[in-house]
């Protein structure tokens, strides 16, 4: 099969995307597929023509473009199948303020928070308790994520985000265990417990060799595992996603579960979270890549 592999792009997560793309390409070639790399930062104006020449696309883009639905919409125009969410689901998941509404409507718990499309001004005081998290409304990989404990830190974080042209989400920091859970097809995978070095799962914890400890399967009670898996599937369906996704949660000691966000193009290196969850089912990295390609064609 001729596969168009989309990796790179122009978001701050470009290098993460390219690294995963290398491993995906190797897995696809291992299974006998021919692979053409398409880097939207260089090839965007040729994307439609390139897609027409291939049997399917494999999207490994993080942030925009890729998770915002733009690439998916273009591929739909030329009837090129791809793994993962379509344009609407991609955008709704990436836009955290929109996703919060959808999660709440689906009966999922979300942290108290507020969406700030513009800077609220120097006298604004949120009706939230410290500590809080300040994050980009459409960012990923925990980039531009700040934990703030006072007004000075809050405004430093807000000023930084808005100086980059970002929108902001401010949320109360919910205390509990960090758990993430992937969905593959219509099945929730084994959750992972994330033990961060420091106060939260930031960019360093995610990608540095000395970052967070990720325990899979998560050493939590069976009823807690079932609750996390059910919530991951509910979030997946509420957003209208296909193929795969990964939902991030805070699980409190009393069993209360808060959803933080859903990633529609989860990291895809052999040591990334969803591949590690799939390995619990006996799937190798190449098996997972092949399964995602099958799901793309089934659409």
Extract the annotated binding site: 248, 261, 263
CA 246/CA 248 separation, integer angstroms = 7
Could you tell me whether strands 168-172 and 132-136 are parallel, antiparallel, or unpaired per DSSP bridges?
A: antiparallel
Residue 55 Cα to chain centre, angstroms? 26
Across 76-230, where does the E strand assignment appear?
113-116, 132-136, 146-148, 168-172, 177-184, 187-188, 192-195, 213-215
CA 221/CA 3 separation, integer angstroms = 41
136 catalytic per annotation? no
Catalytic one of 11, 13, 67, 166: 13
- List C-alpha distances in Å: 219 to 27, 223, 246: 30, 12, 18
CA 157/CA 139 separation, integer angstroms = 14
Task: Collect all residues with Cβ–Cβ distance below 8 Å to 174 and sequence separation of at least 6.
Answer: 111, 250, 252, 258
Q: Determine the 3-state secondary structure of 41 from DSSP.
A: helix
Catalytic one of 17, 146, 272, 277: 272
Catalytic one of 90, 136, 141, 146: 141
272 catalytic per annotation? yes
Q: Considering only the C-alpha atoms of the chain, give the largest distance between any 2 of them, rounded to a whole number of Å.
A: 61
DSSP structure class, residue 210: T
Q: Which segments are annotated as binding site for Mg(2+)? A: 248, 261, 263
Sheet holding 2-7, edge to edge: 34-38, 2-7, 56-60
13 catalytic per annotation? yes
Could you tell me whether strands 192-195 and 177-184 are parallel, antiparallel, or unpaired per DSSP bridges?
A: antiparallel
Task: Collect all residues with Cβ–Cβ distance below 8 Å to 65 and sequence separation of at least 6.
Answer: 9, 10, 11, 40, 44, 71
Q: Which residues are the active-site residues?
A: 13, 141, 272
């Amino acid at each position: 099969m001729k596969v168009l592999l989309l990796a790179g792009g122009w978001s701050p997560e470009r290098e993460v995307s390219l690294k995963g793309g290398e491993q995906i390409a190797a897995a696809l070639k291992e299974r006998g597929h021919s692979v053409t790399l398409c880097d939207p930062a260089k090839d965007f104006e040729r994307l439609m023509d390139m897609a027409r020449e291939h049997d399917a696309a494999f999207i490994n883009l993080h942030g925009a473009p890729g998770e915002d639905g733009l690439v998916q919409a273009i591929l739909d125009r030329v009837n090129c199948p791809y793994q993962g969410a379509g344009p609407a689901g991609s955008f709704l998941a990436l836009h955290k303020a929109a996703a919060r509404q959808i999660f709440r409507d689906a009966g999922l718990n979300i942290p108290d928070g507020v969406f700030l499309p513009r800077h609220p001004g120097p006298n604004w005081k949120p009706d939230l308790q410290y500590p809080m998290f300040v994050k980009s409304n459409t960012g990923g990989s925990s980039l531009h994520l700040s934990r703030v404990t006072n007004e000075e830190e809050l405004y430093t974080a807000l000023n930084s985000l808005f100086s980059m042209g970002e929108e902001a989400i401010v949320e109360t920091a919910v205390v509990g265990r960090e758990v993430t859970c992937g969905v593959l097809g219509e099945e929730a995978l084994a959750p992972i417990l994330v033990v961060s070095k420091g106060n939260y799962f930031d960019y360093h914890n995610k990608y540095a060799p000395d970052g967070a400890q990720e325990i899979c399967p998560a050493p939590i009670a069976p009823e807690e595992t079932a609750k996390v898996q059910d919530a991951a599937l509910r979030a997946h369906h509420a957003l209208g996603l296909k193929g795969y996704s990964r939902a991030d949660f805070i699980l409190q000691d009393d069993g209360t579960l808060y959803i933080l966000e859903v990633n529609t193009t989860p990291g895809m290196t052999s040591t990334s979270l969803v591949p590690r969850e799939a390995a619990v089912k006996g799937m190798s990295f190449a098996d997972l890549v092949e399964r995602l390609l099958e799901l793309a064609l089934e659409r």
